[in-house]
Amino acid sequence: MRRIFLAFALALFLGFLPAQEYKTYFQGYYALGDSLTAGFQDGGLVDYYQRVSFPALLAKNAGVDNFALPLISPPGIPPLLQLFVSSSGQVYVAPCSSSYGVPENLYYNGIYNNLGVPGATTHDMVATISDGGFHDIILRGLGTQLQLGVAANPKLITLWIGNNDVLGAVLHGKVVEGQTITPLNQFTANMTTIVGALATHTGAKIVMVSIPKVDLIPFTTYIKPYIEVQGQKVYLIGPKGTLTDQDRVLLTAQEYLAQGYGIPKQLGGNGQPLPDEVVLDSHERAVIEERVSQFNSVISQLASQFNIPVLDINELLEKASSEGIVVGGVRLTSQYLTGGIFSLDGVHPSTIGYALVANELIKLMNESFGWNMPLIDISQFLWSSPRTPSGSKLGSTAVKSMVKALSKRK
């Protein structure tokens, strides 16, 4: 009987151990990347959003209570965007403050677990220690992000880098090789260095994330290149003439459109073209999309070489764009303002968006590493926000105005 009991107890122990193995790895979890890793939302970095970044959500879900973050006090750096309503009832997005937040734990004795640096490119990860901005706040002169990632002796690493190697071209509406977009050979060399160093100089399990496609973020899709008049499309005026369905008007064009730029005179505009920096023409868009595809191929090849699982972020974004994702009975989409997945800047996810990314990573890690880590209950974020009340709520008049304005855009 005693032998049977011992055998039963051993079987229970061995059956329980693999399911809990993930907790051991998360005790040494470090996240490397850019703003998407840092937890950027609504155009800024701030403590209450950093605590719901996908790395922080993963760590909390794994039971880690000492996941170190380079916290920034409200109203953030830069100050977060907020929805306002004008005296005429127009809803617009603008910074919530003219002041900036400050680092809260700059003198933390150790390496932050979340090393994501907003604005960082693959070159920055291997070469930049100080830039007078976020690198100084997060890396604190201790080394490059890659060097710190290795020096931390991690057990688990998430790596999501390369977004800013193409995003500059999107944000500026211009493809300038070597300036707003990284040449393929440079990206390949940088990524080879990054992945090679992490794979060979640490014993960590590594998970990578791919680069999003340009047409899957509201920053490029919210404003249509035309205005509908009695069911007919009247195309806006771009820097090279009349726009087409293949051109993209960027979210930053809103202030110009409000002044009449890009709108034909017969529709009440001033007839002047939109500036180049708020329009991606079909050629620029094609170049960016091709580069994203090439970069993702590099990521895939390196991941295959070092046996690293990769989360294809575009599968999630395409589902959100085409059919939506149902959470707690609510259908979430990639629509700007109303979809729920993206924040006010139209580029970075909302808290729900980051939680969706975290759950996709959990699924991938469970499948790849044989873990049994539970998923995050995303419904907890449907009716509450980590954002402080002073910067998050609209009065009933503003809400009605926003709904009315959005309904006119459809």
| C-beta of residue 81 within 8 angstroms of C-beta of residue 41 | no
The span from the CA of 156 to the CA of 340, in Å, is: 30
Residue 358 lies in a domain: yes
Q: Which of 174, 206, 168, 214 is nearest to 187 (CA)?
A: 168
The span from the CA of 201 to the CA of 298, in Å, is: 20
DSSP 8-state class, residue 213: P
**Cα 4–chain centre separation:** 53
Question: Residue 389 has what pLDDT?
Answer: 63
Q: What is the pTM of this model?
A: 0.90
pLDDT digits (tens, 9 = 90+) for 29-81: 999 999 999 999 999 999 999 999 999 999 999 999 999 999 999 999 999 99
Residue 227 lies in a domain: no
Q: Which residue has the higher pLDDT, 85 or 122?
A: 122
User: Position of tokens 């830069």?
Assistant: 78
Residue 252 lies in a domain: no
Report CA-CA distances (Å) from 202 to 24, 199, 215, 362, 388: 16, 6, 36, 21, 39
The span from the CA of 64 to the CA of 23, in Å, is: 8
CATH number, domain containing residue 55: 3.40.50.1110
Rg (CA), the chain: 23
* Enclosing domain of residue 141: 23-215+284-409
For the segment 223-228, the average pLDDT, to the nearest whole number, is 96
- What's the distance, Cα to Cα, between the start and end of the chain in Å? 73
* Relative orientation angle of helices 282-305 and 184-201, to the nearest 10 degrees: 30
Amino acid at 218: P
Residue 225 lies in a domain: no
User: Position of tokens 């493809």?
Assistant: 175
User: Position of tokens 């939302």?
Assistant: 41
Q: Which of 254, 256, 257, 233 is nearest to 245 (CA)?
A: 233
* Relative orientation angle of helices 351-369 and 313-322, to the nearest 10 degrees: 130
pLDDT digits (tens, 9 = 90+) for 187-207: 999 999 999 999 999 999 999
For the segment 318-332, the average pLDDT, to the nearest whole number, is 96
The count of domains in the chain is 1
For the segment 377-398, the average pLDDT, to the nearest whole number, is 67
| DSSP, residue by residue, 168-200 | HHHHHT---BTTTB--HHHHHHHHHHHHHHHHH
Q: Which residue has the higher pLDDT, 89 or 164?
A: 164
| C-beta of residue 251 within 8 angstroms of C-beta of residue 222 | yes
> What is the dihedral sign for C-alpha 197, 107, 135, 360?
positive
| C-beta of residue 410 within 8 angstroms of C-beta of residue 72 | no
Residue 271 lies in a domain: no
Q: Which of 288, 229, 224 is nearest to 262 (CA)?
A: 224
Instruction: Tokens for 135, please give them.
Output: 């690198």
Residue 127 lies in a domain: yes
Q: Which residue has the higher pLDDT, 208 or 397?
A: 208
Instruction: Tokens for 275, please give them.
Output: 């500036």
Residue 36 lies in a domain: yes
Q: Please tell me whether the peptide bond between 79 and the residue prior to it is cis, using omega within 30 degrees of 0.
A: no
The span from the CA of 138 to the CA of 136, in Å, is: 6
pLDDT digits (tens, 9 = 90+) for 80-113: 999 998 888 788 899 999 999 999 999 999 999 9
Residue 10 lies in a domain: no
Instruction: Tokens for 81, please give them.
Output: 């965007």
The span from the CA of 153 to the CA of 165, in Å, is: 27
**E strand or H helix at 265, and its extent?**
none
